Every structure is written in structure tokens, then in C-alpha cells.
Amino acid sequence: MVSFNPQALAAAVHIRLVGLGKHYRVGQQSVQALHDINLDIRRGEVFGIIGRSGAGKSSLLRSLNRLEQPSSGQVLIEGEDIVGFDRARLAGLRQRTGMIFQHFNLMASQTVGNNVGLPLRLAGIGRAEREHRVDELLQLVGLQDKRDAYPAQLSGGQKQRVGIARALVLQPDLLLCDEATSALDPQSSQAILALLRDINRRLGLTIVLITHEMEVIRDLCDRVVVLEQGRVVEQGDVWQVFGDPQHDVTRALLGTLQPAGHDVPSAQASAAILLDLHYTGASGHEPELSAIAALFGCRTHLVQGGIERIQGRALGRLRVRVETAGGGVDVLLQQARQIADRVERVGV
Ligand SMILES: Nc1ncnc2c1ncn2[C@@H]1O[C@H](COP(=O)(O)OP(=O)(O)OP(=O)(O)O)[C@@H](O)[C@H]1O
């Protein structure tokens, strides 16, 4: 009997990039957009790509369905290198790969139903089957009553739902999202994220997305890669990368997510020190005030802090002022390390 192991399936590699490189020719000049990218994207995960403008995010995403032709290396999907695919195999690949865009790319002169049904029509699927699939997909994205409407009659969030329905109509196993929520107001953006999360769980399809909105990565992705000048500078589980970013670029990108910074207040006189207790999620330490109070007693004052939960782990930083009460600072630091993942002395 064939046994089904969901864990093994979840960890299976869906996409493997091996030494992927991409350069563009601009007149006499060559722009190297991607250098030697090596990474794995697992089946069924939501994988985010972040980086500053020009870092190579679009080039990477568009290499996955050959909207860009890689200059070197391999793009293995299900173990098959798509770089050398001919037209026929490329058409098959594109059917198995949906894509959604920042500006939706809908046909203004066609109804919602026709927009969603277009890939089916191009694939030569008959009218009855088309109608059935379009209905199913409009139901999935909550637009069953908009089948005969035109894109101009829809809100931004509704247009993106149409884009999602169209991307899924051929039942792909991979969905590529290019800044899918960037053009939307915060409320519509949240609704689209919830829909993508639901689709990922219900259909088990792999989602690869690029975004400049760190909240999207935090709220939706399992793992993330950070690109800088066409190279991978950091990658890992979101809780890990966001909880303890290792690279300056990552820290800069995450700047918008951190609690608003304040001037470091002085700990006043030599009777107290300021400590930052960092919670990175690595060891499961919980940022509990009771634990801090138990350790330092009434000699502790919370100065500022911000903790959030990502993938169930507590991440963030608490800044505390601890009165030394004549005791050694080294002892205080050692004690603090029992309750936090990292301890930093930031003021005297
Ligand atoms: N068609 C093209 N022709 C020439 N150069 C290009 C082309 N597309 C991208 N580039 C260059 O390749 C580099 C990477 O671009 P890419 O669009 O992949 O980055 P990105 O991280 O997606 O940027 P952004 O966030 O601004 O969209 C940049 O230097 C860009 O100018």
C-alpha cells in the first residue's frame, strides 16, 4: 500500500534555482540583474522575495515562468529544468503557473466572466466546461454576482479578485504574485491577503510573491529571501529573518515594521543601566513582565517596547531600566540572558 506522508510532502522541493543568473543588454552595456542565485521553494509554502528597488525581485519571479529567459543556471520545477523548454512545453508550464499583477491586467472591454474564462478559451476548453469553471472560481473569490460586470464597475480589491480567479482557472500548482496588494487600500489589501492564505491552505498550491510591504511578508509568508544587487543576502523562516535580521539591507527594509524609535533615555546616574531584551523566537522565551520582575524585583522599569507574534512566536524588544543597587553589571547581564534571546546594554 502506498502510504501518504503529509510532512514529507510539505517539505518537498517544488522549485530549485541553481546558479541562476540574468543579464540585460542595454545598447552596448550589460546589466547583471541576478548573480548565482541558489534556493529552494517548497511545495505548498508561501515564499516571499524582498529587496530594495532594482535588487532583482521581478527578474527572479519572472524567471519562474520564463517571462524572463535566464542567462545562466537552472530553474528546476518538479525537477525539470525549464530554461531549455520549447514553445509547446512552455505553454504547458504557463498553464500550470498562475500569475497576478499589481495593476490587475484585466481586459476593460470584457466582462468579469470573460476575463476569468480567457485562459480556458485559449486552452481550447468548450463553452459548457468554461461556464462551469468560471462560476466555481467566481464563487471561490466571492464575486459570483459580478459575472456580467465590467472591470470599470469594480473596486480595486474586486479587480484583484478577478485577477486571482483568472490566475487559478486552469488549476495551477504555482501562483506568482507581483506586488498583488500594492495598489489597494489597507482594508482591501487585508481581504486579498486573507483570500490568498485561504487559497494556499485549501488548494495546497505554492505561492511565490514579491512585495515592498513587509506586513504582507509577516502576515502571509512561511519563508522569505532578501536580495541585494542581484544576490541572496539572507533567507529563512519569516519569524527567524524578521526576529533577528542579520543583514543591514534586511534591517533597513524592516525599519517600517519596528515600533517607532525614541531617543535612548538616560538611565540616570550610575545607579541604573538600560538593557534591551531581544526576543527572536529562537528559544521560545516569552517576553513576560512577570519573569522580568521576578528576576530583578522592584528595581526594574519598562521604558519602551514592542512585541508582535509571527507564526506563533513572540518577536521584538523590551527596553528596561534596571537599578544596579550596588551589584555588578555583569551579573545583571547574565541574569537577563536567562529570560531573553539576546541582551544588549544600551545606556548607563
Ligand atoms: N528589461 C530590462 N532591460 C534592462 N535592464 C533591466 C530590465 N529589467 C530590469 N532591468 C535591470 O535589472 C535590475 C533588476 O531589476 P528588477 O526589475 O528585477 O528589480 P526589482 O527588485 O524588481 O526592482 P523594483 O522593486 O524597482 O521593481 C535593475 O538594475 C534594472 O534596471
- Radius of gyration of the chain from its Cα atoms, rounded to whole angstroms: 24
CA of 154 to the centre of ligand 1 (A): 31
Q: Best mutation site among 59, 71, 208, 226 for ligand 1, i.e. most ligand atoms within 8 A of its Cβ?
A: 59
**Domains of the chain (ranges plus CATH)?**
42-70+82-255 (3.40.50.300), 272-347 (3.30.70.260)
3-state class (DSSP) for residue 265: coil
User: CA 12, CA 202: separation in Å to the nearest integer?
Assistant: 18
Q: Quick one: how far is CA 219 from the chain centroid?
A: 8
Q: Which three cell numbers stand for residue 250?
A: 534586511
CA of 225 to the centre of ligand 1 (A): 17
- Count the Cβ atoms, other than its own, within 10 Å of residue 227: 26
Closest ligand 1 atom number to CA of residue 230:
14
Q: How many A from CA of 67 to the centre of ligand 1?
A: 13
* Placement of cell 527578474 in the chain: 59
Protein residue with least CA distance to atom 1, ligand 1: 24
Report which of 323, 330, 280, 267 is spatially closest to residue 299, judged by C-alpha positions.
Answer: 323
From the CB of 30, is ligand 1 less than 6 Å away?
no
pLDDT in tens for each of the 348 residues of the chain? 444 454 445 469 999 999 999 999 999 999 999 999 999 999 999 999 999 999 999 999 999 999 999 999 999 999 999 999 999 999 999 999 999 999 999 999 999 999 999 999 999 999 999 999 999 999 999 999 999 999 999 999 999 999 999 999 999 999 999 999 988 888 888 889 999 999 999 999 999 999 999 989 988 999 999 999 999 999 999 988 988 889 999 999 988 664 433 444 444 444 777 888 888 887 777 777 777 777 776 567 777 777 778 887 878 888 888 877 666 777 778 888 888 888 888 765
| Interface pTM, i.e. ipTM | 0.98
